[in-house]
């Protein structure tokens, strides 16, 4: 392994652990050398060493393996402070710290080393995949295929909008299959990479090798197939590869941004072949799934960064307000944590509003208080006079609180303004109403669902 390889692995690590963790824990690590299948690194302190080895050893190891480095262990030793020239591995001996990281699975090295596949993200595993209504079918199908028993769904076609977990699920399948069948030739790549390799093979007049490689795999996974739609010769080659593999009973897994029938430029023969297997879609996220992902990621981030504190209701607020894809949700959380760490403040809804103003704004459709009132009345089947009145009867008080909550989270109106519209005595009534709904959302899925449906109605 060279320093250059480490440079590339660092790039991958940045993507998978996020900027905040990267700058805190990965950036300070200096690659020393590789010997006896052990990658040795220098770190600044003993504490750092044990922390990194416990929290990131595994991820670093997996990334190294993914990059093709022949390595079984990683070791972090304290640099004893002697001057070191950049890029020079001939440093004074470091104090070894006993922090061996167990090799995650001997099976990570597979017969696929020489295959031209893409790197698998070590964090895209089934363990890290949150299952909810919108993705449960896709998840179940992926799990089934990952068992690798008999090829019943061939191909498995996963489709859905951007950032909904297609790539994550594909990597998870690949990791699982690799662990179960160490010798299997599993090839994962994007349709774009497939095309580039094919074009290169054509240019180099070496399509034989290309064909041999692609037809010798046990499992072929092609991500974002929409990319080759309309690219005639690549599609043709893909079609032949596809048929050859299907005939041999090899598993094929493909993802796309739309259903095969909706890809206009896709060769009709390919579309109908894709249609023959199992076609499942990942639906747009709902409130619960977003909250689940946020909780999972926040838990991990807080375990790594225990001094960070978070007020109640923050994740619920984010799940409600950030209604786009999971990548955006995840990015928002990473930024939030970095910001909180920087300013050393508890994460509150106010902080979220400060720090994520741009993201929140882009999902803000400028909903008005009148629209909220009207929509809530329709939804709960109550009269406008009731919701804007002062009656405390539960049947109108709860919808009113919901309207307060939606007003606070979907508009930038102040508490007194909302109070005036919604029969509140003063801002404390609204404050209380908003809190009440936030509390209820966490324990009562009906209320959470009401909030989600109402938000969608208002943002539609």
Q: How far is CA 378 from CA 36, 366, 371, 433, in A?
A: 70, 20, 11, 20
Which long-range contacts does 44-49 make (Cβ < 8 Å, 24+ apart)?
A: 44/78, 44/79, 45/78, 46/78, 46/97, 48/76, 48/78, 49/76, 49/77, 49/78, 49/97, 49/99
Residue 165 touches which member of ligand ADP, Mg ion, none, C-beta under 5-8 Å by kind: ligand ADP
User: What gap in Å lies between CA 31 and CA 2, rounded to an integer?
Assistant: 9
Site for ligand ADP in 242-301 (CB under 6 A): 293
Both structure tokens of 401: 């609180």
Residue 168 touches which member of ligand ADP, Mg ion, none, C-beta under 5-8 Å by kind: ligand ADP
Query: Which residue's CB atom is positioned nearest to Mg ion?
Result: 167
Contact between 218 and 252 under an 8 Å Cβ cutoff? The reply is no
- x/- track of binding to ligand ADP for residues 100-129 (CB under 6 A): ------------------------x---xx
Kindly tell me which residue out of 163, 256, 313, 399 binds ligand ADP, with binding defined by CB under 6 A: 163
Contact between 334 and 21 under an 8 Å Cβ cutoff? The reply is no
| Closest distance to ligand ADP from the beta carbon of 254 (Å) | 12
Q: Of the two residues 322 and 418, which places its CB atom closer to ligand ADP in the complex? A: 322
**Per CB under 6 A, 323 contacts ligand ADP:** no
For 386, list phi and psi in degrees, rounded to 5.
-70, -45
**Per CB under 6 A, 166 contacts ligand ADP:** yes
Q: Of the two residues 159 and 242, which places its CB atom closer to ligand ADP in the complex? A: 159
Count Cβ atoms below 10 Å from residue 426 Cβ, excluding itself.
11
Residue 124 touches which member of ligand ADP, Mg ion, none, C-beta under 5-8 Å by kind: ligand ADP
Residue 423 touches which member of Mg ion, ligand ADP, none, C-beta under 5-8 Å by kind: none
Beta bridge partners of 77: 42
| Closest distance to Mg ion from the beta carbon of 224 (Å) | 6
| Closest distance to ligand ADP from the beta carbon of 229 (Å) | 17
**Per CB under 6 A, 177 contacts ligand ADP:** no
Contact between 77 and 49 under an 8 Å Cβ cutoff? The reply is yes
Contact between 33 and 89 under an 8 Å Cβ cutoff? The reply is yes
**Helices H, strands E: what count in the chain?**
20, 8
Contact between 322 and 360 under an 8 Å Cβ cutoff? The reply is yes
Residue 180 touches which member of ligand ADP, Mg ion, none, C-beta under 5-8 Å by kind: none
Residue 162 touches which member of ligand ADP, Mg ion, none, C-beta under 5-8 Å by kind: ligand ADP
Piece of the chain touching ligand ADP by CB under 6 A; list 57-65, 159-167, 174-182, 396-404: 159-167
Residue 214 touches which member of ligand ADP, Mg ion, none, C-beta under 5-8 Å by kind: none
Q: Is 280 in a helix, a strand, or coil? A: strand
Count Cβ atoms below 10 Å from residue 355 Cβ, excluding itself.
20
Q: Give me the count of residues in the chain.
A: 460
290: closest CA among 458, 126, 452, 142?
452
Beta bridge partners of 302: none
**Per CB under 6 A, 189 contacts ligand ADP:** no
**Per CB under 6 A, 164 contacts ligand ADP:** yes
Query: Which residue's CB atom is positioned nearest to ligand ADP?
Result: 165
| Closest distance to Mg ion from the beta carbon of 321 (Å) | 24
Helix axes 232-247, 191-203, angle to 10 degrees: 110
**Per CB under 6 A, 135 contacts ligand ADP:** yes
Both structure tokens of 192: 């774009």
**Per CB under 6 A, 330 contacts ligand ADP:** yes
Q: Of the two residues 103 and 327, which places its CB atom closer to ligand ADP in the complex? A: 327
Kindly tell me which residue out of 110, 167, 251, 401 binds Mg ion, with binding defined by CB under 5 A: 167
| Closest distance to ligand ADP from the beta carbon of 163 (Å) | 5
Number of residues that bind ligand ADP (CB under 6 A): 17
Number of residues that bind Mg ion (CB under 5 A): 2
| Closest distance to Mg ion from the beta carbon of 281 (Å) | 14
Handedness of CA 200, 204, 208, 209 (dihedral sign): negative
**Per CB under 5 A, 110 contacts Mg ion:** no
Piece of the chain touching Mg ion by CB under 5 A; list 45-53, 166-174, 204-212, 449-457: 166-174
**Per CB under 6 A, 172 contacts ligand ADP:** no
| Closest distance to ligand ADP from the beta carbon of 128 (Å) | 6
Q: Which residue has the tokens 């593999």?
A: 245
User: What gap in Å lies between CA 141 and CA 146, rounded to an integer?
Assistant: 9
State the residues that interact with ligand ADP by CB under 6 A. Answer: 124, 128-130, 135, 160, 162-168, 293, 326-327, 330
State the residues that interact with Mg ion by CB under 5 A. Answer: 166-167
């Amino acid at each position: 392994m060279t320093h250059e390889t480490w440079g590339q692995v660092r790039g991958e690590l940045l993507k998978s652990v996020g900027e905040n963790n990267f700058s805190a824990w990965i950036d300070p690590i200096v690659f020393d050398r590789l010997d006896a299948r052990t990658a040795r690194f220098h770190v600044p302190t003993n504490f750092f060493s044990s922390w990194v080895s416990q929290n990131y050893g595994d991820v670093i190891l997996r990334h190294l393996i993914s990059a093709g480095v022949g390595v079984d262990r990683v070791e972090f030793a304290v640099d004893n402070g002697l001057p070191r020239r950049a890029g020079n591995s001939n440093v004074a001996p470091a104090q070894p710290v006993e922090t061996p990281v167990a090799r995650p699975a001997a099976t990570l090295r597979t017969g696929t080393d020489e295959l031209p596949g893409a790197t698998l993200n070590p964090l895209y595993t089934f363990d890290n995949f949150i299952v909810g209504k919108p993705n449960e079918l896709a998840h179940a199908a992926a799990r089934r295929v990952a068992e690798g028993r008999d090829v019943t769904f061939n191909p498995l076609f996963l489709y859905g909008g951007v950032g909904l977990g297609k790539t994550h699920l594909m990597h998870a399948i690949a990791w699982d299959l690799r662990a179960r069948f160490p010798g299997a030739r599993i090839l994962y790549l994007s349709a774009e990479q497939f095309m580039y390799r094919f074009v290169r093979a054509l240019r180099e007049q070496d399509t034989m090798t290309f064909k041999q490689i692609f037809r010798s795999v046990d499992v072929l996974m092609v991500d974002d197939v929409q990319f080759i739609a309309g690219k005639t010769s690549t599609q043709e080659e893909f079609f032949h590869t596809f048929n050859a593999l299907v005939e041999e009973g090899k598993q094929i897994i493909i993802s796309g941004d739309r259903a095969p029938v909706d890809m206009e430029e896709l060769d009709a023969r390919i579309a109908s072949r894709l249609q023959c297997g199992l076609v499942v879609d990942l639906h747009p996220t709902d409130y619960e799934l977003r909250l689940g992902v946020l909780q999972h990621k926040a838990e991990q981030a807080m375990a790594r960064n225990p001094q960070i504190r978070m007020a109640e209701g923050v994740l619920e607020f984010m799940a409600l307000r950030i209604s786009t894809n999971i990548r955006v949700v995840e990015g928002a959380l990473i930024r939030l944590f970095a910001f909180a760490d920087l300013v050393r403040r508890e994460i509150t809804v106010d902080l979220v509003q400060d720090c994520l103003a741009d993201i929140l704004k882009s999902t803000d459709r400028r909903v008005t208080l009148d629209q909220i009132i009207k929509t809530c009345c329709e939804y709960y089947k109550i009269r406008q006079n009731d919701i804007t009145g002062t009656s405390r009867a539960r049947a109108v008080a709860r919808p009113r609180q919901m309207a307060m909550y939606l007003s606070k989270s979907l508009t930038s109106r102040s508490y007194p303004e909302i109070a005036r519209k919604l029969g509140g005595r003063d801002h404390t009534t609204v404050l209380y109403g908003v809190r009440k709904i936030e509390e209820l959302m966490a324990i009562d899925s009906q209320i959470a669902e009401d909030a989600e449906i109402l938000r969608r109605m208002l943002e539609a």
